[in-house]
Amino acid sequence: MEYGPREYVNPYRTIPLTVPEGVKPNEFFNSAANLNDLVHNNGLLVNPENLLLYRKALGHSNEFDTSIIYNTSQSILDPLGRPVRRTQLPEAVRRVWDRMNVILLEYMLEKYPDPEKALVLVGEASLDATWPLTAPGVPSIRMLHNHFIVFPMDGLRSAPLADPNNPNLSDGGQHSLFQSYMSKVYRAFFSQLPQLEILRPIDAESARLQLTGYPQGLPCWEVQGGADALRDARFWKEYDALLMGFLDFYRTFFSQVSTRNANPPDDLYFPDQVANVLLFNHDFLSTAKKVRDRCITDAIYANAIRWQPAFKQVIYRNELGKLIVTISQNSIGNAITELLGVAVKRVPDAAGYEKAEPALIEKLLEVRQRLVDADLGQGIATAHWSA
């Protein structure tokens, strides 16, 4: 068997949406009007915290695929003003969000206990609010959401190899920027974060998926205690700490790219680590100079810079049965799955989707009931299922 990233074909049923005349498709997909479709045609559960569980109409995998979105579309009409990462959630919302994550991930691990038969992952996306609305690849929904996905390993094994030069697999160049010039300081910075007790740094060989060889070049942490640790609130605090560390690193780096010898950004989570590890590191600052100098002379390169943090944070299980956490240095909006070497090719195929739909819906309704029983929301009725 050949090893490497896979192109996984997933059929879907065309979404019956009409884009109003005079509005670009990606602008409409960002609108409150379009987000109603998530509730009325695909909604599974909603709670008073405005967390919406829904079926993915254009999914990554028809084995199991669902999302939770912090649906602020009716309360914050400005797409650029909506929360795009978990650190922006009110504490009460984040507590409910984390409990929902636990129940969904535990359900997936229970239904798919064999790591040789199923790739299980939970991915959280930051939809960078600095993206121009009309830019190619713009996120279709500018709100924090999580993906819960299971891929059958037999399907991945039989899938053709993906092009390793696919820009989404390589993160559009910013990944190599971190890896080529700042790998040591990046890891040193994370090692200086407050002590992690549940999340333990793990080497790349032990963390990666053997089939695809991914993640590549990303720091990874093993979840000590496996699935049981997810019920410990400390796990989610440590999960937050990784994100906060990433945000500090990214913001500090691009502030130096923007302005030579800039003061540290406001509201840092770990100001001491920024001052002692980053702003006194020659590799860090010389890399900022390389990027700054190129921005001045290369308009296309400068236009592609993501000046504000965009990231993907993933919990996944590899073939060794280890639960791993990783976080990307995201620049162009690569999909959650592509961090793990799975490039999903969605194809319109109603018949193919309908073959998988009954089993998929059965599982989604089953996990919905667990959330209802835990007082995490109320069921939503659609044309496809009852409340």
- The whole-model pTM stands at 0.91
**Half-sphere exposure in the Cβ direction for 55 (13 Å, CA):** 29
Residue matched to tokens 């650190």: 87
Average pLDDT over residues 213-232: 92
CA dist., res. 232 & res. 86, Å (int): 18
For the segment 6-48, what is each residue's pLDDT rounded down to a tens digit? 999 999 988 777 788 887 766 676 667 777 777 888 999 999 9
Cis peptide before 215 (omega within 30 of 0): yes
What pLDDT is recorded for position 83? 85
The answer to which of 33-37, 115-119, 366-370 has the lowest mean pLDDT is 33-37
Residues sharing a CB contact under 8 Å with residue 375, sequence separation 6 or more, in sequence order = none
What are φ and ψ of residue 56, in 5° steps?
-85, 110
> Contact 174/237 with Cβ under 8 angstroms?
no
Report the candidate in 210, 166, 241 with the shortest Cα–Cα distance to residue 320.
210
Domain positions in the chain are: 6-170+199-232+310-379
Radius of gyration of the chain (CA): 21
Residues sharing a CB contact under 8 Å with residue 270, sequence separation 6 or more, in sequence order = 192, 193, 194, 244, 245, 248
Q: CA separation (Å) from 297 to 82, 130, 172, 256?
A: 34, 22, 19, 17
For the segment 272-308, what is each residue's pLDDT rounded down to a tens digit? 999 999 999 999 999 999 999 999 999 888 877 778 7
> Contact 361/20 with Cβ under 8 angstroms?
no
CA dist., res. 229 & res. 194, Å (int): 19
